[in-house]
Amino acid sequence: MNILFIQPRLSEMQKSWWKRSIDRAINKFYAPPLTLEQLYAITPNDHDVKVIDERIGQKINYDGNYDLVGITAFTPYINRAYEIADAFRKMGVKVVLGGYHPTAIPDEAKQHADSVLLGEAEYTWLQLLKDVENNGLRPFYLPDRPIDQNDIPPAKRDQTRGNYFYAAVQASRGCPNRCEFCAISNLKFRNIVRKRPVENVIDEIKTISQKHFHFYDPSLTLHPTYSKSLFREMKGLNKKFTCNGNVGALNKDEELLKLASEAGCTRWYIGFESFSQQNMDLLKKQTNRVEEYAPAVKKIRDYGMDIYGLFMFGMDYDTPDVFDSTLKAVNDLGLIAANFSILTPYPGTPLHDRLDKEGRIFSKDWSKYRWDEVVIKPKGMSSEELLHGVRKIKREFYSLHNFSQMIRKEKVLELGLMDIFSTYFFSMIAYRFVK
Ligand code: B12
């Protein structure tokens, strides 16, 4: 069969060409489409596969004689995914939707697709292909067991590698932590951490042509023993990488930090979320305790790595002064890159159910479910205060004045100009001028 896999763009495109160009460049650096590369890899070789990533400006050919179109989408991309799906179906082409949003709300997705594949695809996709060939496509496919990590082939990158400055790899899937807002651990089977054999991951990394890559694992601190053996084997591969991790483990385990650094880790992405322990308790994020933020950051820096801090606003204990106090606290930590988001209740999460019950979700326009729009009524401030407060902290954090202050801080300059450039300036352009 002739199969097309699509990563849609956001439904609201940036209007001016320069904003669109910067958005594309950011995706080329930070967001290689591992989902499509993985779907391509699990498709048997007797099918012809084409991979399209709209986020980097690639165009969909609606006249490509495709027998089957597979579209991936998490929530902010779903409206555009539905638009593409509707267009192909009008032409009589079969469409399958998959990914986080269709998995959370399969009945909604089914209105725009011939079939919805829920959860991980490694087992069900093969069955689905056979069913299409036999004209017996079912409306829904759901795996009956978690995917054995031995059954994950290396991603196929021959169509994508030339387009992205960074590559992406996944060593493990799942997270047991059940943070209230998280769309991973609250889905079936995704609350079980599954680790790919280290040798498989190493073999895959060796095939990557780029020097830099991201680990797309939910967190590489969930099983430190596993991560340590992975990092040990990576030493000498001459790669640079970034990954996600949690404060508690990073603060406790210096051996992990040392091995990560020796393996080529340049930056940990950490979801600090809030400087209020009450908020953290409410979010049920037990992996990070506020009192450990500063020592953890210091230790990571001591081992020559950088930190990208992720923060959210609009939690129940946030009041209008939270923006100023957070800016001060982030600067005291000495972070040079951070993202400030608005709490968003993704479908399928306990946060969504709680706020929905309390009548506090006022928009279910999924295109607004990005980090920069308000869809909830917060408790401690108005929705407008939340929106303007987040815009203000982004502006102030990424101001030249703030940058000149933070660059003087101990250890920051030791990160090297390239790291400072790639973290700080990209984020500044992204958050101050584009988003
Ligand atoms: C990499 C990543 C990104 C990248 C972009 C990746 C991309 N393709 O666009 C970046 C860093 C840009 C990003 C940004 C954001 N992200 Co993000 N991101 C991820 C991450 C870490 C990995 C996703 C991934 O590629 N996994 C690897 C592949 C192989 O797994 P997979 O996608 O699950 O695919 C498998 C199955 O789901 C299935 N499948 C998936 N799609 C399809 C389609 C078909 C047709 C079929 C058959 C099967 C199928 O098959 C695959 C193989 O089994 C996940 C968390 C995680 N670890 O999963 C969050 C995650 C997807 N992100 C999330 C969010 C919320 C965001 C942001 C809105 C966050 C924010 N506040 O800034 C932004 C939005 C970006 C935007 N432009 O608006 C949420 C999504 C929740 C939701 N319901 O939408 C997640 C789940 C994180 C979380 N903890 O909740 N993200």
- What would the CATH number be for the domain defined by 165-434? 3.80.30.20
Q: State mean pLDDT over 204-222.
A: 96
Residue minimizing CA distance to atom 11 of ligand 1: 31
Do 2-141 and 165-434 share a fold? no
pLDDT of residue 169: 98
CB distance 72 to ligand 1 below 6 Å: yes
> Is 70 exceeded by the pLDDT of residue 15?
no
* Token pair 């651990």 in the structure block, residue: 185
DSSP letter, residue 184: S
Q: Is the pLDDT of residue 411 over 60?
A: no
Cα gap 329→34, rounded to integer Å:
34
Q: Spell out the residues 6+ positions from residue 25 whose beta carbon is closer than 8 angstroms to its own.
A: none
Indicate the SS3 state at residue 392.
helix
Q: Does 315 have pLDDT greater than 90?
A: yes
**Residues 381, 384, 387, 393: is their CA dihedral positive or negative?**
negative
Q: Is pLDDT above 90 for 222?
A: yes
> What confidence score (pLDDT) does residue 373 get?
93
The answer, yes or no, to whether any atom of ligand 1 lies below 6 A from the CB of 30, is yes
74 alpha carbon – ligand 1 mean position (Å): 6
What's the CATH fold of domain 2-141? Rossmann fold (3.40.50)
Determine what percent of the chain is predicted with pLDDT higher than 90: 78
Q: Flag whether pLDDT at 420 surpasses 80.
A: no
pLDDT in tens, 68-124: 999 999 999 999 999 999 999 999 999 999 999 999 999 999 999 999 999 999 999
- Ligand 1 centroid, distance to 216 Cα (angstroms): 9
pTM for the full predicted model: 0.94
- Report which ligand 1 atom has the smallest distance to the Cα of 37: 29
Say which range, 124-128, 197-201, 283-287, has the weakest mean pLDDT. Answer: 283-287
pLDDT digits (tens, 9 = 90+) for 286-308: 999 999 999 999 999 999 998 99
Pair type for strands 172-173 and 194-195: antiparallel
The total of other beta-carbon atoms located within 10 Å of residue 321's CB is: 11
What is the model's pLDDT at position 423? 63
Q: Whose CA is nearest to atom 28 of ligand 1?
A: 35
154-189 pLDDT per residue, tens: 999 999 988 999 999 999 999 999 899 999 876 777
Whether the CB of 288 sits within 6 Å of ligand 1: no
State in Å: Cα 184 to ligand 1 middle.
9
| More confident call, 21 vs 52 | 52
Ligand 1: centre distance to CA 294 (Å): 29
Site of tokens 């499509």? 36
Is a pLDDT exceeding 80 seen at residue 193?
yes
Q: Using alpha carbons only, give the angle 146, 207, 258 rounded to the nearest 5 degrees.
A: 80
Query: Residue of the nearest CA to atom 69 in ligand 1?
Result: 371
* C-beta of 101 in contact with ligand 1 (< 6 A): yes
Distance CA 75, CA 346 (A): 7
> Which of the listed residues 28, 216, 273, 285 should we mutate to test ligand 1's pocket, taking the one with most ligand atoms within 8 A of CB?
216
- CA–chain centroid gap for 86, Å, is 26
Q: Which atom of ligand 1 is nearest to the CA of 214?
A: 1
Domain ranges (residues) in the chain: 2-141, 165-434
Residue 431 Cβ inside 6 Å of ligand 1? The answer reads no
Q: Find the mean pLDDT for residues 246-275.
A: 96
Whether the CB-CB separation of 36 and 65 falls below 8 Å is answered with no
Range with the poorest average pLDDT among 147-151, 263-267, 365-369? 147-151
Ligand 1 centroid from CA 237, angstroms: 27
Is the model's pLDDT at 433 over the cut of 60? no
7 lines ligand 1 (CB under 6 A): yes
pLDDT score for 409: 66
